Amino acid sequence: MDDERSPLEMEIRRLIGIAGPMPVAEYMRLCLTHPQYGYYVTRDPFGARGDFTTAPEISQMFGELVGLWLASVWQLLRAPENMRVIELGPGRGTMLADALRAVRTVPGFQAAIVLHLVEISPALKKEQERRLEPLGVPMLWHSSIEDVPAGPCLIVGNEFIDTLPVHQAVKQDDGWHERVVDVAADGNLAIVAARDPLPHFEATLPSGLRLSPAGSIYEWRADGVALEIGRRVREGGAALLIDYGHAWYGLGETLQAVSGHAYADPLRSPGQVDLTAHVDFAGLAQAAESMGSRVHGPVAQRDWLRRLGIDQRAAALKAHTPYGKTIDIDQALSRLTASGAKGMGDLFKAMAIADPKLKSLPGFEPS
């Protein structure tokens, strides 16, 4: 039996044996970022043979429009020098490579920026260096956004927040209990309710959720990253976060595992499958605003891409693509913008957090 268990599962069982059941958030954190066995630490999860794909990997158009956004906001900020362009979780570096290539000709932009890449995966750092080196822009890596030097900044993150650990609580007759991972009677890992209720938890919930029926599940993330982004951008900065999630708070569990482009059981093979959970954009906005920044959106990814001109960009690319290959561009466009389960247009959302002096930002103008 032990042979089938991943090394991280053995470690998690050991930790539960010593310290007792662990919150779902701690389990998720270990699965993704354990320094030896964490999912992101040990592999490059992208591409057709990997576990999942992301918008910048689907089409260069995505990164190009992010580049346009960055250069436009830099100009709105009156084109400061030594602009820190910070990417949270850059994956293979594809988005920034496409972004900076697309805005090479914006006078002064490339010369004004230093890239700060926040990444924990050694394998992905190498890949980022390989893709971004040819651009000739200075680059530095950090393992946390807190380590990036203070000053004017443009922050971007695509599918980063969804990887940050989520806590879960379940409502019972005597109050809300944190959901924890334990070893069940059958010997397998299972999610159960912690024995004691969370003190005063109900009062911290959005008011519409306070009288939820027994059995309801509520998910939340620690505010640290949102607060840090809000603090950094409030004077002379802006952040663009694109992710999948809900624009308004709600109940329900969204933790999911993906392996080989299919859903998997989050408790099986810890460290070997990707774990993510929906982003609560309302919660993110509230934390960022509490630091004195202004939030724009969220808007559906489809609307954001259209307002930045994805249809025109697709048409321009097609004009330079041999007949017979243009279908790839149409398919990518559809995947990025379509509604429903097949497309990313509605489920994915873009939100900006910025210096309150910036009244309006590209892609977030009221329609």
Binding site for ligand SAH (CB under 6 A): 32-33, 40, 54, 56-57, 89-91, 95, 118-121, 124, 158-160, 163
- Compute the least distance from the CB of residue 59 to ligand SAH, in Å: 12
Please state, in angstroms and rounded to a whole number, the distance separating the CA atoms of residues 294 and 29.
29
Please state, in angstroms and rounded to a whole number, the distance separating the CA atoms of residues 124 and 128.
6
Contact predicate 167/176, CB 8 Å? no
- Compute the least distance from the CB of residue 62 to ligand SAH, in Å: 9
Please state, in angstroms and rounded to a whole number, the distance separating the CA atoms of residues 170 and 136.
51
Please state, in angstroms and rounded to a whole number, the distance separating the CA atoms of residues 226 and 233.
11
- Compute the least distance from the CB of residue 219 to ligand SAH, in Å: 17
Nearer to ligand SAH, 124 or 205 (CB): 124
Nearer to ligand SAH, 193 or 241 (CB): 241
Please state, in angstroms and rounded to a whole number, the distance separating the CA atoms of residues 351 and 265.
30
Element (DSSP H or E) covering residue 334: helix 326-337
- Compute the least distance from the CB of residue 19 to ligand SAH, in Å: 22
Name the token pair of 280. Answer: 């609560």
- Compute the least distance from the CB of residue 145 to ligand SAH, in Å: 8
Contact predicate 289/343, CB 8 Å? no
Nearer to ligand SAH, 88 or 194 (CB): 88
224 φ, ψ (degrees, to nearest 5) = -45, -50
Burial group, residue 3, by CB count within 10 angstroms (0-12, 13-18, 19+): exposed
Nearer to ligand SAH, 162 or 355 (CB): 162
- Compute the least distance from the CB of residue 20 to ligand SAH, in Å: 24
Give the residue at shortest CB distance from ligand SAH: 89
Please state, in angstroms and rounded to a whole number, the distance separating the CA atoms of residues 8 and 158.
27
Please state, in angstroms and rounded to a whole number, the distance separating the CA atoms of residues 83 and 115.
8
Nearer to ligand SAH, 160 or 176 (CB): 160
Neighbours of 131 (CB within 10 A): 18
Nearer to ligand SAH, 337 or 358 (CB): 337
Contact predicate 43/123, CB 8 Å? yes
Contact predicate 69/308, CB 8 Å? yes
Nearer to ligand SAH, 15 or 58 (CB): 58
In sequence order, which residues have a C-beta less than 8 Å from that of residue 83 and are 6 or more positions away? 74, 77, 112, 113, 114, 152, 153, 154
Nearer to ligand SAH, 118 or 287 (CB): 118
- Provide the 8-state DSSP code for 355: -
Using alpha carbons only, give the angle 133, 156, 116 rounded to the nearest 5 degrees: 40
- Compute the least distance from the CB of residue 201 to ligand SAH, in Å: 25
Neighbours of 151 (CB within 10 A): 14
- Compute the least distance from the CB of residue 346 to ligand SAH, in Å: 18
Nearer to ligand SAH, 94 or 293 (CB): 94
- Compute the least distance from the CB of residue 199 to ligand SAH, in Å: 28
